[in-house]
Amino acid sequence: MVAWDGATIAGSALNQIIHGKGEIMHLGIRRPWRRRGLGMALLQHSLQTFYRHGIGTIRLNVDVQSLTNAQQLYQRAGFACVDSFRNYHKSL
């Protein structure tokens, strides 16, 4: 899904169905359009689309150190944290 403001992309959501469960792979809003409800609108549209396809379980991953506090959006939409993990990397 793509949210347009005229000819400019304001945000997008990339979703898929894996083994009968919905997964929100990416939800992003460009800076000038943040904090205007567009993220929630895309999220709700994603959930409605899954529902129309008979998908009742939706998952997503979010960085708990997100500078945009994305986890707050998902919590407001009714998502619950069921797991947490850490990613490690090393530069050589």
Q: Which domains does the chain have, with CATH numbers?
A: 2-76 (3.40.630.30)
CA–CA–CA angle 15, 81, 75 (5° rounding): 75
pLDDT tens digits, one per residue of 7-53: 999 999 999 999 999 999 999 999 999 999 999 999 999 999 999 99
| pTM (two decimals) | 0.86
The b-or-e profile of 50-70 (16+ CB within 10 A means b, else e) is: beeeebeebebebeeeeeeeb
Span of 3-7, 27-31, 58-62, 64-68 with lowest mean pLDDT? 64-68
25 within 8 A of 16, measured Cβ to Cβ = yes
Structure tokens at 21: 């469960």
The CA radius of gyration of the chain, in Å to the nearest whole number, is 14
